[in-house]
Amino acid sequence: MSTSAYQRALQKAEEQSRRRQARKLTGTHVAALALAACLSLVAFIALLMSLPDAVSAAQGKGRAGTFVLHELREGKNSGWLGSFTSDDGKVILKESFVSHRDVPSNAKPGDRVRLLEIDGELWGSGSKDWIWMSIVLVVIAVIVVFLIWAVAVATRRWMATGSVSAT
């Protein structure tokens, strides 16, 4: 082997070694994956707990009443602040929030909107929120499964070799 061929082979081996080092995972990486899996699981459970209410609203089940619009809140979570009174008078919510999706787009303060109260939350009758909630649940479930798998693989490699490699 000539000197230049030897030097090229040596440089290639050093480059491969640097790449392997760059791909090594540490215990911090494994912990971060585990934390991400836990947080994703919490988001999944929280959304899953709201899904039955969304389905009930889609079916028109719940305590019907009138929501009086007080103030429009703009921004990331836009919607209306107002007060709700059920038709039978048993439920009175003096300060409530309702999503802009459940209120007509031309609504203004003082308008009255028919809504359903389900477990302390206000929903529009026939709400389609269950659709996007279901899609988000599936996406989060896939993320949770992937993260749990990644933690298991990384932990197994870490225990077997003393270090975790991404390869």
Looking at residue 28, what is its pLDDT? 77
Q: Are 123 and 57 in contact (CB under 8 A)?
A: yes
What the block records as the tokens of 50 is 């709201």
Q: Domain boundaries in the chain?
A: 25-59+128-167, 61-125
Can you tell me which residue has the tokens 């899609």? 135
- Per-residue pLDDT of 131-151, as tens digits, reads 999 999 999 999 999 988 888
Number of Cβ within a 10 Å radius of residue 24: 12
Confidence of residue 33 (pLDDT cuts 50, 70, 90): confident
Given a cut of 70, is residue 49 above it in pLDDT?
Answer: yes
C-alpha closest to that of 120 among 100, 99, 92: 92
Say if pTM beats, i.e. exceeds, 0.75. no
Count the Cβ atoms, other than its own, within 10 Å of residue 67.
24
CATH for 61-125 is 2.40.50
Strands 164-165 and 24-25: antiparallel
- As a whole number of angstroms, the distance between CA 15 and CA 12 comes to 5
What is the rounded distance in angstroms from the CA atom of residue 56 to the CA atom of residue 125?
9
Q: Which residue has the higher pLDDT, 81 or 6?
A: 81
User: Does pLDDT of 167 surpass 50?
Assistant: no
